[in-house]
């Protein structure tokens, strides 16, 4: 049903007003079905798209399939929604918070199945191997030095928690560099519950976080579960997300260069240890950051 078909409560009340002189019982008998029809029909509101949201998540927050939102709003491409855009949500009665980052499950150090694609070219360092880790790895990781200068392998990158993430000068073909120097402890992809929309880079408290590319800060605030979060908008529809920060050192509207200091690593929000949760999104869809960053 198009929301334009719905009549407002006022319209209905006007019609009902004709019967004002009737006995109360008769009016109620007429009124109730009308009000029920209004309740079923007119519920719905416009949701204002905020940074980091996408149609799928908006739909999830309101319990409406994103395909239905796309249809009702006449969106040919559900990926192409922008911040500030109004999305009509049929059936909704009040604006609901939309989780802009998928909630993460607790244990980032747990080894995970790696994702496919360019991540497979990531070299694996043997730094601080954990007891028993090798037994859970399908194929043994090869060895490289920090900053990925040495041997590379096309094998499975092995357990999360063993890949060094360089930061600084190296830039990928997409214009991104690593936001922090640390150890990759969790990769992008399916988790036991839900989906991990980024990578986790373990680094000690207070380690400098640098913008992965030039852009404009569109969000710098706290977010439930994610603590201090920064979201930076780049060109070509890219945004990057930096979460669990000890401190944000930029504010909304700031322009940053690639490599600009934007904050400090911490464990704010729901984090089991000091680390950076980092996402790269294109048109608000989280992509595997390892596909867009320089190889480790």
Q: Which is nearer to Zn ion, 103 or 175 (CB)?
A: 103
* Nearest residue to Zn ion, scored by beta-carbon proximity: 277
Q: How far is the CB of 225 from Zn ion (least distance, A)?
A: 10
Would you tell me which residues interact with Zn ion (CB under 5 A)? 104, 200, 277
238-245 vs 275-282, strand pairing mode: antiparallel
DSSP bridge pairs for 209: 263
Q: Which is nearer to Zn ion, 47 or 277 (CB)?
A: 277
131: CB partners within 8 A, 6+ apart: none
Q: How far is the CB of 81 from Zn ion (least distance, A)?
A: 24
Q: How far is the CB of 276 from Zn ion (least distance, A)?
A: 8
255-256 vs 86-90, strand pairing mode: unpaired
Instruction: Give which of 151, 149, 153, 144 is closest to 168, Cα–Cα.
Output: 149
Q: Which is nearer to Zn ion, 61 or 271 (CB)?
A: 271
Q: Which is nearer to Zn ion, 210 or 277 (CB)?
A: 277
Length of the chain: 296
> Could you tell me the two tokens for 100?
């802009």
Q: Which is nearer to Zn ion, 234 or 277 (CB)?
A: 277
Q: How far is the CB of 228 from Zn ion (least distance, A)?
A: 14
Q: How far is the CB of 16 from Zn ion (least distance, A)?
A: 54
Q: At what angle do helices 9-17 and 24-42 cross, to 10 degrees?
A: 160
């Amino acid at each position: 049903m198009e929301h334009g078909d719905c009549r407002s409560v006022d319209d209905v009340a006007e019609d009902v007003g004709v019967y004002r002189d009737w006995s109360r019982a008769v009016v109620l008998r007429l009124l109730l079905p009308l009000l029920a029809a209004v309740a079923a029909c007119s519920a719905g509101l416009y949701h204002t798209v905020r940074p980091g949201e996408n149609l799928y998540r908006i739909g999830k927050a309101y319990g409406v399939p994103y395909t239905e939102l796309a249809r009702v709003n006449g969106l040919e491409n559900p990926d192409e929604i922008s911040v500030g855009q109004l999305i009509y949500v049929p059936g909704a009665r009040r604006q609901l918070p939309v989780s802009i980052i998928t909630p993460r499950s607790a244990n980032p150090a747990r080894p995970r199945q790696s994702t496919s694609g360019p991540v497979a070219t990531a070299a694996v360092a043997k730094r601080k191997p954990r007891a028993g880790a090798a037994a859970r790895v399908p194929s043994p990781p090869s060895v490289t030095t920090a900053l990925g200068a040495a041997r590379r392998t096309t094998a499975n990158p092995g357990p999360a928690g063993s890949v060094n993430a360089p930061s600084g000068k190296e830039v990928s073909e997409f214009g991104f560099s690593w936001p922090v120097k640390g150890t990759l402890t969790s990769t992008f992809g399916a988790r036991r519950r839900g989906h991990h929309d980024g990578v986790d880079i373990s680094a000690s408290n207070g380690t400098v976080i640098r913008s992965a590319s030039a852009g404009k800060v569109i969000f710098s605030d706290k977010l439930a579960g994610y603590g201090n979060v920064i979201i930076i908008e780049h060109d070509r529809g890219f945004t990057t997300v930096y979460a669990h920060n000890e401190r944000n050192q930029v504010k909304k509207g700031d322009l940053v260069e690639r490599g600009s200091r934007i904050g400090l690593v911490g464990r704010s929000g729901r984090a089991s240890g000091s680390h950076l949760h980092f996402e790269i999104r294109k048109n608000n869809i989280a992509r595997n950051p390892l596909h867009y960053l320089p190889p480790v």
